[in-house]
Chain A
C-alpha cells in the first residue's frame, strides 16, 4: 500500500515515448526466478562452481579435517592409556610400600619379643645364681651354728658340774665326789 505512491511517482516521471519499451521490459522481467532465459547460464555456472567446490572439498578439505580429528582421537586414547598405565604403576608402588611396612612391623614385633624373652631368661638365670649362693651360705652358716652349739653344750656340762659341786659344798659343807656329780648332771640333762 505504501509502495504505491513511489510507483506512481516513478511511472509519471518516465516519458511517454518509453511506454512501449517499458511494457517490453516488464514482460521480460515478469518474475525473475521463472524467467527461463537465464536457466541455461545458471545451470552451467552452478555445475562449474558446485563441481569445483565438491572436488575441492572431497580431495583437500575433508581428508584434512578427517586427519585432524583422527590424530586427536588417537592422541586422546593414547594419553588415556598412558594415564591408566601410570595409575597401575602407582597402585603397585603403594601395594609394595604397604607390604614392606607390614613386613617391617612384623619384624619389629619379633625383635621385641626376642629381646623381652632374652631379658627374662637372663634375669631368671641371675636369680637362680643368687639363690644358689644364698643357699650355700645358709648351709655354711647352719654348719657353723651347729658347731658352736655343740661346743656350747659341752661347756654347759662342765659349768653345771662345777655349779653343782659348789652348791653341794656350800649346803653340805663337804666336797662332793666328782664322778657322782657328773653322773647326776647327766641324769638331769636326760
Chain B
C-alpha cells in the first residue's frame, strides 16, 4: 500500500471503545485532533505567560494571530460581531494547526475528513441561526427578503436567498475538505512517481528529478493552501456571523 494515495486518509482505531452501540474508538483522527488542540493551546499559553510589555518573537506571533482574527471579524461584522471572537479565533487556529500538522509526512490530516469540516461549518451556520433568532426573533427572516426588490420578482429572490443560505454549510465544508484532500493526494501521487521511476534503473532515476522538483514545489504550495484555507474558512465564518448580527441587507 506504499503508493496508495488514499491510504493516508485511512482511519485506524488506536483504542477501541464502544458506548451504547456506538463506535467511539480513539482513532488516529482523534489523536491528531488532540494534538492540534494541545499544540495550539500550549503555544498560545506558553508564549503569552511572561506578559511582556515588549513582546518576544513568539509572544508577538500569538498577539499577531489575535489581532489578525480580531481585525478580520471587526471588518466583516463590526464591533457587535466581536461577541463571536472566541469562536472565530478557535475555528481559525484549529483549522490552521490541523492543516499545518497534516503537512508533516505520516501525519494524519484532520481537515481532510468531510465529516469534520462539515461539523465545523454546521457549527458556524448553527450559531448564525440560533443567535439570529434569539436576538432578532422573526425579524431575522428579513435576511431572506432583501429590501427594495419589486414584488414581482420577490418570491424568486427569496427562493434564491434560501438556497444560497442552505448551501453555505456545504460550500464552506467542501471547500476546506476538497482542498486538503486534493492537495495531499497530488503530493502523494507525485512522490509516488519518484519511487516508481527510480526503481526503473539509471534512466528512471534521471527521470525522477522532474517529479521531485514538482513534489518540492507542491509542498510549498500546500503550505500556502493550508494557511489560505484556514483564512478563507475564518473570513466566510465572519461574513456569515455578520448576518446574525445585522440581518437586514
Contacts and interface: CB of A to CB of B under 8 A. Distances in A.
B24 A69 contact: no
B214 interface: no
Name the residue in B24, B40, B192 with the highest tally of chain A Cβ atoms < 10 Å from its Cβ.
B24
Given A58-B86, A61-B41, A46 B6 contact: no
A71 B36 CA distance: 30
Nearest to A50: B94
Contact of A45 (B10, B30, B112): B30
Contacts of B37: 49-50, 52-53
B232 to A, nearest CB: 19
Interface residues of B, number: 57
Given A3-B192, A42-B115, A50 B85 contact: no
Contact of B51 (A43, A46, A58, A67): A67
Q: How many interface residues does chain A have, given as a range?
A: 35 or more
A72 B53 CA distance: 6
Contacts of B89: 57, 62
B2 interface: yes
A37 B10 CA distance: 12
A56 B25 contact: no
Contacts of A34: 114
Contact of A46 (B10, B87, B116, B193): B116
A53 B96 CA distance: 14
B2 to A, nearest CB: 7
A113 interface: no
B125 to A, nearest CB: 16
B86 A32 contact: no
B11 A69 contact: no
Contacts of B112: 33
Interface in A8-65: 10, 29, 31-35, 37-47, 49-50, 52-54, 56-58, 60-62, 64-65
B186 interface: no
B93 interface: yes
A5 B90 CA distance: 45
A3 B181 CA distance: 19
Given A41-B27, A45-B29, A10 B9 contact: no
A75 interface: yes
Given A38-B27, A39-B115, A54 B197 contact: no
Interface in B61-89: 62-63, 66-67, 85-87, 89
Given A53-B90, A60-B45, 5 more contacts: A6-B192, A10-B1, A33-B181, A54-B90, A68-B59
